[in-house]
């Protein structure tokens, strides 16, 4: 895990000077309005709201604004929050895997390597966007929840606050909370999730209200949340190349996780149906998390013809890495784990020279 974290940080810094891409501009502009305390205009005028990027929550942009205040508005200041969030997601997913597998070393190592060698993960954690921050706080919230820390009421509240920060970074973070909610309802433990849900909601409302009072025309956080939802629903297919949520699995650079999913998903389903609640653990939670982060996107696509982008599957990478680590930890000998990690590293190394041009475009 430590080795994967250090190598990943080095590779991220190596890619730091790649040109700013068009998507980053939206979030940098939004972060600059926070840094410069710029008012966002009238709620009735979409054009006046556009520079503030109010269609997404503010927390990741706040971190970007703080980074740019410290290091300038060049590549380092813009991308540092994403890079650090991405790199620290590696020990976070190792912690989560450890908590769910009872400290299984094969599962811990596999989760760390499979996440850190995912080209999708590397691309999104190398650019100044919101997704890497959202994923880090989501994984960390889950890790706290399932660890010994989460056995106390204070630990559950901490997990909820971290989950709230994930959702405040990008709204798709709510899908990880949905996965946790479904998992605990299946296990019959609604009291634990109650503390997480309440503290998440309080965190979201408190941060949004403070932000709105300071810089936006929204009079309350519910109005802002409604704006985010409405904007997301309006993101419909406008012609040209139409992406589907399932196309991510057919990307050559993610072949390994997609192929291995064909093994661990049915194995986990059989395990859950045979054991019921006794199947609680890494594989069963990974299955629920995969469904929670993927199925809503599929539903929105087919019902609303919502325009999809492949990086929307960013959370799916963590679910696939966890599920694969669960399969390897429980049933795979070390030689199989090593072979899988070698293949993952080889694929990443093969595509690494191309990643700069991929995320610039």
pLDDT digit string (tens) for 44-66?
444 445 678 888 899 999 999 99
Q: Is residue 66 packed enough to be buried (19+ CB in 10 Å), middle (13-18) or exposed (0-12)? A: middle
Can you give the residue ranges of every domain in the chain? 2-219+243-360
Name the pLDDT band for 236 (thresholds 50, 70, 90): low
- Using one digit for the tens of pLDDT, what is the confidence trace for 176-233? 999 999 999 887 777 889 999 999 999 999 999 999 888 888 888 999 999 888 877 7
The whole-chain average pLDDT of the chain stands at 84
- Using one digit for the tens of pLDDT, what is the confidence trace for 130-170? 999 999 999 999 999 999 999 999 999 999 999 999 999 99
pLDDT at 34: 87
Say which residues have a Cβ less than 8 Å from residue 289's Cβ, sequence separation at least 6: 176, 179, 183, 318, 319, 322
- Using one digit for the tens of pLDDT, what is the confidence trace for 89-103? 999 999 999 999 888
pLDDT at 85: 96
Q: Cα–Cα distance between 328 and 319 in angstroms, integer? A: 14
Check residues 131 and 357 and name the one with the higher pLDDT: 131
Q: Cα–Cα distance between 113 and 325 in angstroms, integer? A: 9
Say which residues have a Cβ less than 8 Å from residue 342's Cβ, sequence separation at least 6: none
pLDDT at 281: 81
CA-based max dimension of the chain: 61
Is residue 246 pLDDT above 80, yes or no?
Answer: no
Q: Cα–Cα distance between 56 and 225 in angstroms, integer? A: 9
Mean pLDDT, rounded, for 321-332:
80
Q: What is the pTM of this model?
A: 0.91
Which of 121-125, 309-313, 351-355 is predicted with the least confidence, judged by mean pLDDT?
309-313
**Contact (CB, 8 A) for 124 and 314:** yes
Q: Cα–Cα distance between 206 and 63 in angstroms, integer? A: 17
Mean pLDDT, rounded, for 117-123:
88
């Amino acid at each position: 895990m430590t080795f994967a974290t250090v190598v990943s940080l080095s590779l991220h810094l190596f890619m730091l000077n790649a040109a700013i891409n068009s998507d980053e501009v939206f979030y940098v502009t939004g972060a600059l309005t926070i840094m410069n305390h710029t008012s966002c205009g009238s709620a009735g005028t979409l054009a006046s709201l556009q520079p503030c990027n109010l269609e997404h929550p503010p927390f990741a942009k706040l971190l970007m604004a703080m980074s740019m205040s410290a290091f300038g508005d060049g590549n380092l200041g813009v991308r540092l929050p994403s890079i650090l969030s991405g790199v620290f997601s590696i020990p976070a997913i190792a912690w989560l895997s450890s908590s769910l597998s009872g400290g299984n070393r094969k599962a811990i190592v596999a989760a760390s390597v499979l996440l850190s060698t995912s080209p999708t993960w590397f691309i999104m954690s190398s650019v100044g966007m919101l997704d890497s921050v959202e994923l880090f706080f989501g994984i960390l919230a889950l890790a706290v929840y399932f660890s010994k820390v989460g056995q106390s009421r204070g630990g559950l509240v901490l997990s909820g606050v971290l989950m709230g920060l994930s959702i405040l970074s990008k709204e798709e973070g709510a899908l990880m909370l949905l996965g946790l909610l479904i998992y605990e309802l299946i296990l019959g433990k609604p009291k634990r999730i109650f503390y997480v849900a309440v503290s998440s909601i309080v965190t979201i409302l408190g941060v949004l209200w403070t932000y709105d009072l300071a810089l936006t025309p929204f009079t309350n956080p519910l109005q802002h949340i409604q704006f985010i939802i409405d904007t997301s629903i309006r993101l419909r297919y406008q012609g040209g190349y139409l992406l589907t949520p399932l196309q991510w699995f057919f990307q050559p650079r993610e072949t390994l996780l997609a192929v291995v999913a064909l093994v661990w998903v049915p194995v986990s389903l059989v395990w859950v149906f045979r054991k019921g609640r006794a199947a609680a653990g890494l594989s069963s939670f990974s299955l629920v998390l995969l469904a929670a982060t993927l199925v809503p996107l599929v539903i929105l696509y087919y019902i609303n013809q919502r325009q999809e982008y492949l990086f929307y599957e960013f959370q799916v990478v963590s679910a696939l890495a966890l599920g694969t680590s669960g399969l390897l930890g429980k049933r795979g000998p070390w030689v199989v784990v090593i072979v899988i990690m070698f293949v993952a590293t080889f694929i990443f190394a093969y595509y690494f020279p191309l990643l700069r041009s991929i995320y610039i475009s």
